Amino acid sequence: MYDFVSGPLAWLSFIIFFVGIIYRIIWYVRGLDWQMDRVAYRPHRKYGIKGAARSIFYWLLPFGTRSWRYYPSFTIMVFVFHFGLLFSPLFLPAHNIMLEQAVGFGLPTISESAADVLTILVILAAVFIIMRRIALPEVRILTKPYDFLVLAIAVAPFITGFLAYHQVGNYRVMLTAHILCGEIMLVAIPFTKLSHFVLFFMSRAQLGMDYGIKRGGMKNAKGMTW
């Protein structure tokens, strides 16, 4: 079981993940239509690139936009959550050892204890996000079981990874469960709203081009204040 999950299934999930997100990017770009979206993307590429870059940059910056500043505590949680979500699996020693075995090279790694801290932060942030979803009426009305499912898919690898690393329960079973959860998450990214992993950049770029080219970008040299 472990061999299958950490071998062929891992390969399969990575392939689905990469092909999936590349497909989504191509699908997005090909679906842009200058006349339907009412943005002349091509003739004003320079304004478009500038608008897109500003739109992505300010939104990747913690407190970089009015909206991030408007909801400070949620913003901190979202950034902590996403920082852990992205960096702990990428630079985890255990992951990179496996990566080296599989493809012959690995990424630089963080220490085991740093990984632990990040993992705990991700889990705590997720708890906060869940509580906020339940507590605030304006978020509750938007929330469906699907939102909890997606959140669970994203956090499960962290919980199981943490438990496996700390050898809680049967290590072999826990590790297998962890890898399975990780694979489920990878596969879920192209097919659920987790696709915002890449579509965030696409969508932000589009609105940035919209404002950069059509909605004032050519008249206001400073560009949109996000």
Partner 1 sequence: MPEGILCNKKTVDEKSQLDALLADKSGKQYYEEMNHLEVDSDALWAAIQKTCKSRIRTWLEICAHCGMCADSCFYYLANHKDPKQVPSYKIQSTLGELIRRKGKVDNAFMQMCMDTAYSKCSCCTRCGLYCPFGIDMGIMFGYLRGLLFSQGFVPWEMKIGTGMHRIFRAQMDITTEDWVETCEWMAEEYEEDWPGLTIPIDVQDADIIYTVNAREPKHYPEDLAEAAILFHVAGENWTVPSEGWEETSLAMFAGDWAACKMQVESVYAAMDRLKPKRMVVTECGHAYRATVIEGPYWAGLPSGQTPIESIHYVEWVAEALRTGKLKIDPAKKIKEPVTYQDSCNYIRNGGLADVAREIMGYIAEDFREMTPCREHNFCCGGGGGLNGIGRYRPERNIGLKVKRDQILATGAKLVVAPCHNCWDAIRDLEEVYKVGIRWSFLKPLLLNMIIVPDHLKPTEE
Binding footprint of ligand HEM on the chain (CB under 6 A): 6, 10, 59, 78, 82, 85-86, 88-89, 92, 94-95, 98, 112, 115-116, 119, 129, 147, 150-151, 154, 157-158, 161-162, 164-165, 175, 178-179, 182-183, 185-186, 193-194, 196-197, 200
Binding site for partner 1 (CB under 8 A): 27-40, 42-44, 55, 59, 66-68, 70-71, 74, 78, 136-144, 147, 193, 195-196, 199-200, 202-204, 206-208, 213-220, 222, 224-226
User: Min. distance of Cβ 25 from ligand HEM in angstroms?
Assistant: 14
Which is closer to ligand HEM, CB of 175 or CB of 213?
175
Radius of gyration of the chain (CA): 20
Which is closer to ligand HEM, CB of 56 or CB of 214?
56
DSSP state of 220: -
CA distance 180 to 157: 8
> What residues contact 213, with CB distance under 8 A and at least 6 apart?
39, 40, 41, 44, 47, 48, 51
Q: Of ligand HEM, partner 1, none, which one sits near residue 94, judging by CB under 5 to 8 A according to partner kind?
A: ligand HEM
Q: Of ligand HEM, partner 1, none, which one sits near residue 50, judging by CB under 5 to 8 A according to partner kind?
A: none
Contact indicator for 58, 225 with CB cutoff of 8 Å: no
> What residues contact 92, with CB distance under 8 A and at least 6 apart?
109, 110, 115
CA distance 76 to 71: 9
